[in-house]
């Protein structure tokens, strides 16, 4: 099955065919680094991660460029308020964004660029537009003349009947259905950062940044450009106008846009108290993998209704898949094989692939995997599963996880790396009543009194040691001590699951 995607430009599903063989050039609008992105932003970034993983899965060689908008109305306003230079102010939020990306398992684009590192290229493109009659200077700024570009409105299907030639707007974002000449270059206002250039002193408008940075690294015509639906107009419409007016060539072949995220059925807003950054959710104890799963689980062109119930279900779904994989690898099966079961695993893999080829239908891709897990668990329970059947199922799981990336439990390490969980030592308080052999042992473990511990304060290695010790005392028949260790771990937020395959632990 061919990979089909919904192209906003044509307004329909189209088969994806790159311009050059199996090379794909893709540009995604990165964040404006003036604050912490909210989970609605991350919905779009997770969609783009799924897209890039799927392109690679399908064998394409990918060159993915993402910009960081580090100069615009918002970054200038906030850096002034903070009393910092634009560079220093935005550096903080670039760092936070990169940490968030790692937490959510987002792959790095091949090229990440700061807008302010391409000012010279922006000036050159603006000069070309002026020379060609698509742009004009006024009071130190330069504007794009919308009426001069006859294909304006092709992406957003905006109604141009009300267009007023010469009506200008300086702000980067403006109302829908209001086509106006927009600023390519802005004369400096009092106290604003500016660059001395052949255009005069000033700074670029937001839209020109993306035209320049995408064409700089991907060429004048490239394959995919994507962002959230709120970028269709004016941002992407203006990018097309600037780029095509300057080059006379088609700018982008496929435009992909992710729908909005809503929270508990309502638009996310600070005044409603339902506005969440990724950090807010991690601070409340939610796991990055569960957040990634939830954001990925709804196909990108549908509204995603974000709820805490949904987040809990996402965690349970991940646990189900991990438990299934654990069972496959640890349980002993009779030798031989069951051809029908292996066919089942391969059919699930094809169903997952077909769903992804169908405009990245992640909901169906998940459905295909869970149906397989259910059937395989039933077969195992009935004793129909054979040792040689393992590989087919593990292979399907592995392929699925190349896209969804939640099967490995990396949450704890990442949360610790980025400071969401403190080092164990900071929690340790040696309790006065920890005395005698047990106290000595607790002290030797460096843990202090276990009953005072939280899950976060025990490292994976420390938990493993306790679990191993408990296995040992059980083997010796000391069940009272084994129970005590279980209770202590439970108080520390660690749950033990005993089965004939051994003991697994997880954090609450």
Q: Which DSSP string do the residues of 75-108 spell out, in sequence order? A: HHHHHHHHT--HHHHHHHHHHHHHHHHHHTTPPP
Instruction: Identify which of residues 48 and 361 has a Cβ nearer to Zn ion in the complex.
Output: 48
- Beta carbon of residue 235, minimum distance to Zn ion (angstroms, whole number): 6
Q: What are the phi and psi torsion angles at 195 (to 5°)? A: -115, 140
Structure tokens at 55: 């392109």
Distances in whole angstroms, Cα of residue 501 to Cα of each of 134, 327, 379: 71, 8, 18
Q: Is 11 left (phi over 0), alpha (psi -120 to 50) or beta?
A: left
CB of 65 to Zn ion, least distance (A): 11
Please tell me the count of residues contacting Zn ion according to CB under 5 A: 2
Min dist CB 102 to Zn ion, Å, is: 23
Taking Cα atoms as reference points, which of 239, 238, 198 lies closest to residue 220? Answer: 239
Range in contact with Zn ion (rule: CB under 5 A) among 132-140, 204-212, 389-397, 467-475: 204-212
Q: What is the nearest approach in angstroms of Zn ion to the Cβ of residue 357?
A: 27
Tell me whether residue 29 or residue 158 sits nearer to Zn ion (CB atom).
29
Residue ranges in 205-234 that form contacts with Zn ion under rule CB under 5 A: 210
Q: How far is the CB of 506 from Zn ion (least distance, A)?
A: 41
Per CB under 5 A, contacts with Zn ion among 366-395 are: none
Structure token pair of residue 456? 């976060």
The Cα 341–Cα 324 span in angstroms is: 15
Which residue, 184 or 210, has its beta carbon nearer to Zn ion?
A: 210
Going residue by residue from 7 to 36, which x/- string records binding to Zn ion, judged by CB under 5 A? ----------------------x-------
Nearer to Zn ion, 115 or 291 (CB): 115
Q: List, as own/partner pairs, every contact residues 367-371 make where C-beta atoms lie below 8 angstroms and the sequence separation is at least 24, other chains included.
A: 369/321, 369/396, 369/397, 369/400, 370/317, 370/320
Q: Is 113 in the site for Zn ion (CB under 5 A)?
A: no
Q: According to CB under 5 A, which residues from 436 to 465 bind Zn ion?
A: none
Q: Can you tell me the distance from the alpha carbon of 181 to that of 289, in angstroms, rounded to the nearest whole number? A: 44
Please check whether residue 94 is in contact with residue 33, taking contact to mean a CB–CB distance below 8 angstroms: yes
Interface segment toward Zn ion; rule CB under 5 A; list 46-54, 93-101, 202-210, 266-274? 202-210
CB of 210 to Zn ion, least distance (A): 3
CA–CA separation, 81 vs 471, rounded Å?
Answer: 58
Token representation of residue 228: 């959230």
Is the bond preceding residue 476 a cis peptide, omega within 30 degrees? Answer: no
Q: Which is nearer to Zn ion, 29 or 241 (CB)?
A: 29
CB of 103 closer than 8 Å to CB of 288? yes
Binding flag, residue 115, Zn ion (CB under 5 A): no
Nearer to Zn ion, 206 or 306 (CB): 206
Query: Shortest approach of Zn ion to residue 237 CB, angstroms?
Result: 11
Minimum CB–partner distance for residue 109 and Zn ion (Å) = 13
Nearer to Zn ion, 235 or 322 (CB): 235
CB of 115 to Zn ion, least distance (A): 9
Q: In what helix (H) or strand (E) does residue 198 lie, and over which residues does it extend? A: none
Burial 416-455 (b: 16+ CB within 10 A, else e): bebebbeebeebbeeeeebeeeebeebeebebbbbebbbb
Q: Among residues 49, 211, 19, 7, which one has the least CA distance to residue 121?
A: 211
Binding mask 392-431 toward Zn ion (x if CB under 5 A, else -) reads ----------------------------------------
In the bound state with Zn ion, the residue whose beta carbon lies nearer, of 28 and 315, is 28
CB of 251 to Zn ion, least distance (A): 12
Identify which of 80, 58, 59 has the alpha carbon closest to the alpha carbon of residue 71. 80
- Alpha-carbon separation of residue 356 from 45, 107, 226, 268, 443 (angstroms): 17, 18, 17, 28, 52
Looking at the Cβ atoms of 227 and 288, the one nearer to Zn ion is 227
What gap in Å lies between CA 356 and CA 180, rounded to an integer?
Answer: 39
Closer residue to Zn ion in complex, CB, 29/282? 29
Nearer Cβ to Zn ion (259/357): 259
For residue 66, list its beta bridge partners: 28, 112
Q: Minimum Å distance from CB 239 to Zn ion?
A: 6
Instruction: Verify binding: residue 46, Zn ion, rule CB under 5 A.
Output: no
Residue 122 touches Zn ion, criterion: CB under 5 A: no
- Cβ closest to Zn ion, residue 60 vs residue 255: 255
Note whether 106 binds Zn ion by CB under 5 A: no
Could you list the residues that contact Zn ion (CB under 5 A)?
A: 29, 210
């Amino acid at each position: 099955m061919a990979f089909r995607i919904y192209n906003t430009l044509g307004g329909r599903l189209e088969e994806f065919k790159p311009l050059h063989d199996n090379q794909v050039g893709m540009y995604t609008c990165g964040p404006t680094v003036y604050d912490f992105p909210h989970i609605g932003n991350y919905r779009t970034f997770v969609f783009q991660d799924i897209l890039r993983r799927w392109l690679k899965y399908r064998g394409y060689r990918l060159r993915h460029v993402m910009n960081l908008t580090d100069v615009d109305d918002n970054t200038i306003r906030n850096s002034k308020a903070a009393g910092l230079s634009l560079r220093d102010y935005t550096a903080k939020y670039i760092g936070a964004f990169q940490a968030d990306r790692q937490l959510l398992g987002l792959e790095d684009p091949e090229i990440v660029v700061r807008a302010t590192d391409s000012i010279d290229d922006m000036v050159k493109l603006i000069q070309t537009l002026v020379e060609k009659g698509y742009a004009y200077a006024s009071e130190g700024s330069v504007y794009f003349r919308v009426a001069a570009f006859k294909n304006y409105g092709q992406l957003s299907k905006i109604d141009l009947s009300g267009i007023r030639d010469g009506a200008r707007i300086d702000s980067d974002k403006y109302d829908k259905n209001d086509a106006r000449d927009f600023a390519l270059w802005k004369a400096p206002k009092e106290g604003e950062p500016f660059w001395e250039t052949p255009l005069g002193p000033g700074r670029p408008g937001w839209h020109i940044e993306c035209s320049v940075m995408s064409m700089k690294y991907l060429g004048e015509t490239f394959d995919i450009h994507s962002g959230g639906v709120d970028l269709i107009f004016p941002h992407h419409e203006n990018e097309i106008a600037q780029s095509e007016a300057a080059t006379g060539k088609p700018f982008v072949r496929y435009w992909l846009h992710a729908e909005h995220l809503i929270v508990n059925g309502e638009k996310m807003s600070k005044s409603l108290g339902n506005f969440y950054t990724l950090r807010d959710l991690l601070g409340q104890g939610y796991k990055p993998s569960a957040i990634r799963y939830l954001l990925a689980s709804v196909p990108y062109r549908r509204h995603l209704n974000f709820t805490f119930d949904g987040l809990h279900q996402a965690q349970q779904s991940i646990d189900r898949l991990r438990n299934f994989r654990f069972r496959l690898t640890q349980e002993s099966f009779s030798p031989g094989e069951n051809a029908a079961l292996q066919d089942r695993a391969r059919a699930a893999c094809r169903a997952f692939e077909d769903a992804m080829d169908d405009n990245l239908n992640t909901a169906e891709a998940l459905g295909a995997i869970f149906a397989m897990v259910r059937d395989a668990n039933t077969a195992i329970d009935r004793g129909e599963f054979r040792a040689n059947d393992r590989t087919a199922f593990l292979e399907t799981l592995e392929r699925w996880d190349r896209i969804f990336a939640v099967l490995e439990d990396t949450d704890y390490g990442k949360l610790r790396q980025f400071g969401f969980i403190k080092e164990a030592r900071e929690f340790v308080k040696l309790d006065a009543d920890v005395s005698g052999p047990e106290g000595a042992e607790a002290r030797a473990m460096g843990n202090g009194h276990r009953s005072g511990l939280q899950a976060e304060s025990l490292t994976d290695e420390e938990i493993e040691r306790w679990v191993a010790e408990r296995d040992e005392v059980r083997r010796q028949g000391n069940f009272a001590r084994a129970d005590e260790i279980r209770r202590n771990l439970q108080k520390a937020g660690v749950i033990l699951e005993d089965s004939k395959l051994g003991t697994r632990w997880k954090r609450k």
